[in-house]
Amino acid sequence: MMTAKATVLDAIEKLPDSASYEEIVRQIEFMAKVQNGMEQFRRGEGVLLEVVRQQVSSWASK
């Protein structure tokens, strides 16, 4: 398994040379959020898709 640093460096290398600082930061933030979500899922802290759909439906009907 790659370290966080190695994963980020690999992702940055795959970006075009013309990538802006903002694009690089967005990529790193996206990767961090995905990783955090995966860790939450492994700990059993995730929310089932059906539950989310029900919540969104209830918000839309208000």
The token duo for 60 is 């839309």
What's residue 35's pLDDT?
93
What's residue 62's pLDDT?
63
Strand, helix or coil for residue 62: coil
Q: What is the pLDDT of residues 1-59, one digit of tens each?
A: 889 999 999 999 999 999 999 999 999 999 999 999 899 989 999 888 888 899 898 88
Domains: count for the chain: 1
Q: Going by C-beta distance under 8 Å and a sequence separation of 6 or more, which residues neighbour residue 59?
A: none
pTM over 0.95: no
**DSSP letter string over 6-61?**
HHHHHHHHHS-TT--HHHHHHHHHHHHHHHHHHHHHHTT----HHHHHHHHHHHHT
* Structural contact between residues 60 and 52, judged by C-beta atoms closer than 8 angstroms: no
Which structural domain range is residue 28 located in? 4-60
